[in-house]
A and B are shown apart, each in its own frame.
Chain A
Amino acid sequence: MTIEPHELDVRPILRGGGDPFPVIMNAVDNLVPGQALRLIASFRPVPLFSVMAGRGFSHQEEALGNGDWAVLFRPQEQVDDIRVSGGDMNLDGWPDPTRQLDLTDLDPPEPMVRVLAALEKMEVGEVLFALLAREPLFLYPELAKRGHRWAGNFDATGEIYRILIRVGKPDHHVGA
């Protein structure tokens, strides 16, 4: 799947004397499944390579001149861990998410209610991206019944579940 990499330029933070690490980790947590991170820094961020490798990302460096570096961190293939709804699941054709929800702090089953409520307000073909504290096992059948398609997986820490849902129409030929 070719979702545009998320680009993060930490040079302004470094110039201001700040620590870019939390910002980078936050950006990593918010990547959608399969998405890469393009990091731009004013030095070659060697210590980050092992941290990111530990979280399942490979890296590819590029010198930009003036001592600046761009590093593309790509999630290593983990197709087995991505759970998809089945049917036509060509994720390449999916548009970027138009809504994002962070539901990691809500008690079950509130995340399910919020996701379904958000989907009701979206147009067919639009994509929602949500972060959850648990895999939404009871949400999947409800999404299928309503004709939505989804793909999701845990982040590299195994603590946050990320799910992309493309709004569809109920299709009675697809088994729930």
Chain B
Amino acid sequence: MFGATLSRWTMSYFAAALAFLVIGETMMVLGYGYPAAAMEAPETLALVHTIALGWLSLLMAGALLQFVPVLVGRPLCCTHLALPALVLLVAGIAGLVLGFVGLSGSIDLPPIVLPVAAVLTIAGFALIGFAFAATLWRARPLPLTARFVVIGLGALVVTVLLGGTYAFVLGGVAGADAAIALTLEGVSLHAVLGLGGWLTFTTMGVSYRLLTMFMLSPDGERRSSRIVWLSGSGALGLVAGGIPLILAGSVGRFALLLLAAFLGVLAVVVYASDIFRIYRERRRREIELNIRASIGAFGALAAAMVLFVGLLVTGRIEQGIGSLVYLVAFGWLTGMGLAQLYKIIPFMTWLECYGPALGRTATPRVQDLVVEMRALRWFRAFYASVLIATLGLSVGAEPLFRLASLCQLVAILVLVLEFTRARRLSNVPASLRLPTGAQRPHLFLPSFQLWRQP
């Protein structure tokens, strides 16, 4: 059986992810973690993991539940793993964040919380990662877009294993020299593989398919896209290769990482030209808000690359790393995530609600579930706040950063409200809202009928 069905738990993943995003934004508004605290302070680790795991990784996992079948044209294997994985991930990530807060000394928690939370998180990723891997394995030979996901999943495995090691060391459970060496020297590799491999590389692969689909652009596999895949995979492979070098204590790591940086920049540059071409060759003149709002994310990715090269050349990477990571996490990944949620949520809601009635009676269009003009301003406010916050971080103006974070929090809350309105069919004219055969979807839990499907 070919085809893709609706993923039952994707909406629940999105809801949990957005909750973590709101928590993370609130932490920044309140001045918790970087830049008020040091980069390596436990407060910063709590903030970073709220965003990178709670928001971005849950978002990615939920999106892949829906997109992996679309990329390979086959239903997902082991769909029953999605719920236990979500439960483990939410418990594990919340535990990790609390564990870091405990390390900072502001609450009293036993140190064992961190390793236990790490085990829960790894178990959650293992379950959902197994479902993705099994689906991809059965769909061989894989199209190029799906091969991006394979590399992204590989990066996820290395990232969580490194993270698990740190949690055991910080929790006082592991004391081996190798584990301590990794904790002292491997954090940047952990961050690059997480943000650059798992989150960015996967997003790049999925975006090739989504953008061509929504804009009716030619979507054949191009040589340029293969170059992006090869150079990106090469860069991530070299970064992962830094881990045995740390363990062996041998030199040569700098050259390795420099080559990885070159390949990474090459991948992003070719990717940017591909994206530019997809927009230019589109057959739809009018593009929807999710595609317009993605332009801000692509701009942020390009800006982050320029900043990265600039910092590398001037030897100021240590001073600028905060702004760089912020720009990648919020401008690129969060911007892209919010923009695509603006399409994915209405589309899934539309199919869930009106699928059985399609063709039999008049149904609303997907576009009727949203009001783009209203959301457009909030996307603009979001990107403006990212820009100001990045500048605030670059010049060390903490009050400006917190003010920009407040604007960002408001923009995100309004966008969450827009997602909720789409889900609730609030924008659909009452006469069309629930024709015969349509079923009103739950806000973020699967509907009963979907629940009972095998």
Contact = CB atoms under 8 A, between A and B. Distances in A.
A144 interface: yes
Interface string B352-372: 000110111001011000000
A141 interface: yes
A108 B356 CA distance: 17
A120 interface: yes
Given A138-B4, A141-B5, A142-B358, A105 B220 contact: no
Contacts of A133: 216
Determine which residue in B4, B69, B214 has the highest number of CB atoms from chain A within 10 A of its CB, and name it.
B4
Interface in B295-352: 347, 350-351
Contacts of B359: 113, 115-120
B1 A116 contact: no
Main secondary structure of the interface of B (DSSP, over half): loop
Nearest to B73: A137
A148 to B, nearest CB: 11
Contact of B284 (A107, A145, A175): A107
Contact of B213 (A108, A113, A159): A108
A159 B360 contact: no
B214 A108 contact: yes
Of the four ranges (under 10, 10 to 19, 20 to 34, 35 or more), the interface on chain A belongs to 20 to 34
A116 B69 contact: no
A130 interface: no
Interface string A109-129: 110110111111000000000
B77 to A, nearest CB: 15
A113 B218 contact: no
Interface in A123-170: 133-135, 137-142, 144-145, 158-159
A134 B71 CA distance: 12
Contact of B355 (A83, A86, A142): A142
Interface in B1-33: 1-5
B70 interface: yes
Interface residues of B, number: 28
Interface in B170-219: 213-214, 216, 218-219
A152 B418 CA distance: 38
B6 to A, nearest CB: 8
B283 interface: yes
Nearest to B221: A158
Contacts of B73: 83, 135, 137
A113 B363 contact: yes
Interface string B138-155: 000000000000000000
A120 B360 contact: yes
Contacts of A109: 347, 350-351, 366
Contacts of B355: 142
A145 B363 CA distance: 18
B3 A140 contact: yes
Interface string A87-113: 000000000000000000101111011
B216 to A, nearest CB: 6
A141 B214 contact: no
Contacts of A113: 358-359, 363
Given A133-B216, A137-B70, A117 B358 contact: yes
B379 to A, nearest CB: 21
A105 B2 contact: no
Contact of A134 (B213, B350, B351): B213
Interface in B213-239: 213-214, 216, 218-220
Contacts of B5: 138, 141, 176
A141 B3 contact: yes
Nearest to A175: B1
Contacts of A139: 3
B213 A137 contact: no
Determine which residue in B5, B347, B351 has the highest number of CB atoms from chain A within 10 A of its CB, and name it.
B5
A107 B216 contact: yes
Nearest to A142: B355
A105 B3 contact: no
Contacts of B366: 109
Interface in B31-87: 69-70, 73
A156 B290 CA distance: 32
A144 B1 contact: yes
The 4 residue pairs across chains A and B that have the minimum distance between CB atoms: A116-B359, A140-B3, A117-B359, A137-B4
Interface of B: 1-5, 69-70, 73, 213-214, 216, 218-220, 283-284, 347, 350-351, 355-356, 358-360, 363, 365-366, 453
26 contacts: A83-B2, A107-B284, A108-B213, A108-B214, A109-B347, A109-B350, A110-B365, A113-B358, A113-B363, A117-B359, A118-B359, A120-B359, A120-B360, A134-B213, A134-B219, A135-B73, A137-B2, A137-B4, A137-B73, A138-B5, A139-B3, A140-B1, A144-B1, A159-B218, A176-B5, A176-B453
